[in-house]
Amino acid sequence: MAFFGWIADGATPPPKWDLRLGGWSLCHGTCGCRAECRHVLICDTRSLSFRHRIALAEADRPAWRLILLGVEKPEERAQLLTMGCAEALPAATDRHELQARAKRVSDMFGMLPRWRNCGPLTLDLFHRDARHGARWLGLHPREFGVIWRLADMPGERVTRRQLLKDVWRISHEPETNSVEVHVSRLRSKLADAGCGDLVATSSEGGYRLAKSDEFMLKSHPPESDCLDEYLRDLGWMEETVT
């Protein structure tokens, strides 16, 4: 079943943009927050100035999940698309066209495994970073490469040689401890997010990712990300949502 989110100065989409009429399901976020939404977010921007539309896209940049409606000027649509918005469309767009465009964007998400759940973390391949709730860990590209590679086979050992081949893209054993240094830095950042035991050292050498049933997940309230904060500034989100 396809999901979409609705962002506007109003709780529900009007019939001409309501994808539920085409069999989609409407997601309201986690307790109203959009930080962990992984599907298209359709935004009615008719009441916004171009400056505010730019700010909306900036708040979610690179904005792959945003479809902005009500953008009448071609030059404005072009700039929003250049910023990374999935779509920027005029208000005359009807539900059938919107659904076709939303499906195309949704299918693109499915073509590449952009997101992975990793214990309490979300790995984002496009950002090449990991997020705990609304907080990004700020991983180095190779730190991200290590945890993404370990997430290929949760619970199974990945050797140092395999990491060098798949993350460092080298086939020989260098006379450095680069792998160990990056794993140590990765663990430090994971520890700051409360999940330092997520990457374990295998007794046979190498590393493995703890399975979700091994790593006890702590429940945490949903947090606001930059998009949520901007929506609150617009008055499109309740002040009590945290």
pLDDT at position 133 is 75
Burial class of 186 by CB neighbour count within 10 A (0 to 12, 13 to 18, 19+): buried
Q: Report the domain count for the chain.
A: 2
In a shared domain, residues 12 and 91:
yes
In a shared domain, residues 142 and 173:
yes
Parent domain of 80: 3-112+222-234
pLDDT at position 215 is 43
In a shared domain, residues 12 and 102:
yes
pLDDT at position 48 is 96
Residue 240: inside a domain:
no
Q: Which of 136, 11, 120 is nearest to 128 (CA)?
A: 136
Residues 6+ apart with CB under 8 A from 152: 158
| 226: CATH | 3.40.50
pLDDT at position 127 is 80
Residue 86: inside a domain:
yes
| Rounded to 5°, angle at Cα 76 from 70 and 80 | 90
In a shared domain, residues 124 and 106:
no
Residue 214: inside a domain:
no
Q: Low-confidence residues of the chain, pLDDT below 50?
A: 214-219, 239-242
Residue 239: inside a domain:
no
| 165: CATH | 1.10.10.10
pLDDT at position 97 is 98
Instruction: State how beta strands 115-118 and 121-124 pair.
Output: antiparallel
Q: How many CA atoms lie within 13 A of 65 on its CB side?
A: 21
Neighbouring C-beta atoms of residue 10, cutoff 10 Å: 11
Q: What is the dihedral of CA 109, 113, 115, 117, to 10 degrees?
A: 140
pLDDT at position 3 is 94
Q: What is the dihedral of CA 47, 52, 55, 56, to 10 degrees?
A: 0
DSSP class of residue 10?
S
Residue 242: inside a domain:
no
pLDDT at position 228 is 87
In a shared domain, residues 11 and 107:
yes
pLDDT at position 189 is 95
In a shared domain, residues 126 and 95:
no
In a shared domain, residues 135 and 107:
no
| Token couple for 142 | 């190779």
Residues 6+ apart with CB under 8 A from 205: 157, 159, 160
pLDDT at position 55 is 95
Residue 34: inside a domain:
yes
In a shared domain, residues 14 and 108:
yes
In a shared domain, residues 189 and 101:
no
Residue 41: inside a domain:
yes
pLDDT at position 220 is 52
pLDDT at position 150 is 94
